[in-house]
Amino acid sequence: MVEKSLTCLKAAVSDQLENTYTMALLSYTFTLAQNQVMRAKLITHLDKIAATSGGNRHWERPEASGTKTDSLEVEMTSYVLLALLSGPTMPGFGLDYSTGIVRWLAQQQNPYGGFASTQDTVVALQALAKYGAATFSPEGASTVSVSSARGLKMEFTVNQNNRLLYQEEQLREVPGDYNIKAKGKSCVFVQIAMHYNIPPPPDFSAFNISTQTLGKCDGTKKSLIVSVAVRYNGRREETNMVIINVKLLSGFVLDKSSLGPLKNDPTVKRVDLEEGHVIIYLDGLKQKETKTYSLAIEEDVPVRNLKPAVVKVYDYYQTSDEAVSEYSSPCAE
């Protein structure tokens, strides 16, 4: 059965090397199948279309938004790295070549060790672990120094005794200019993370999302109906699983009686309640199709100068396909 499947995949490749994601996945497939001819053909072609800059190397998706890291680009770049490291070394594709890929992947990694989505995180960490095994050395130590013009000095020592230990310090000079220097002989990963809030961007997205709020403001406690309309405008006929994340207004709680109609909606796969958020899972959205979902919320604690809350929709496997909106209480303070 496996041989027949591989024969089918080999025939499908032929000379139609157009989809980069498919090529990346097949390069790993034929590497595991030990078909060196197909492996060499695919990797050689992938090399020709790789995006390179500043010693980094990765593979791009033409339809990506370009506004942030695309999860599929992380995933297919990781598959190429797995293909390179899971078989015999090809001439011109040694560890130096793989290092350029690893440098790009490391720059996409978030402060918590993952990437944009679950799928690309699994594949990327598998590829990075493969690279770590290929470059492992039982010797070596380094000292990383962090300094600033205003007198800050920090040192991190990485040796064989603590190489698996995560080390972190808070940089309190913000804004500030910092210098990072490493001295020694080993491989060290250094990352700086900055967290901040920004208003929802108005630029084009693969999704459209809008909100409408109706309020009952004459009672002891205010109650609101929040309706969220989502629409997919991308190039695919249908999305992957879609997530709608509704943040509740400060001081408001969900009226759980509104969950019944929502959970009974055939397009809703699941609804989760997290602290201050309602997470709605959809199997997918068809192109140009608008769906509307409503929630009831009620005031629990009065809050002065109530700020708007954000509603976000995104593709679970392509998190760069997203859109955001805001809603606020129509009740006067």
| 13 lies in the same domain as 126 | yes
pLDDT computed for residue 319 by the predictor: 81
Per the domain annotation, does 243 fall within a domain? yes
Q: Is residue 177 domain-shared with residue 217, that is, in the same domain?
A: no
State how far the alpha carbon of 3 is from the alpha carbons of 12, 30, 35, 201, 260, in Å: 14, 11, 11, 49, 49
The answer on 113 and 212 residing in a single domain is no
Beta-carbon contacts of residue 155 (< 8 Å; ≥ 6 apart): 143, 144, 145, 146
What pLDDT is recorded for position 196?
Answer: 76
Q: Can you point out the beta strands (E) in 275-333?
A: 277-282, 290-299, 309-315, 322-327
Query: Does residue 99 lie in a domain region?
Result: yes
The CATH number of whichever domain residue 323 belongs to comes to: 2.60.40.690
- Find the domain containing 260 and state its range: 207-327
Give the model's pLDDT for residue 333. Answer: 56
User: In what order do the strands lie in the sheet containing 142-148?
Assistant: 153-158, 142-148, 178-184
- From the list 185, 190, 188, 141, the residue with the least C-alpha distance to 169 is 190
Q: How many domains does the chain have?
A: 3
Assess if residue 116 is contained within a domain.
yes
Same domain, 319 and 260: yes
Shared domain for 171 and 121, answered yes or no, is no
> Residue 203 has what pLDDT?
52
Q: What is the mean pLDDT of the chain?
A: 90
Residues of the chain with pLDDT under 70: 15-16, 63-68, 197-204, 332-333
* 236 located within any domain: yes
Assigned domain for 195 exists = no
Query: Which pLDDT belongs to residue 220?
Result: 74
Beta-bridge partner residues of 225: 214, 296
Q: Is residue 57 part of a domain?
A: yes
Q: Is residue 198 part of a domain?
A: no
270 and 287 together in one domain: yes
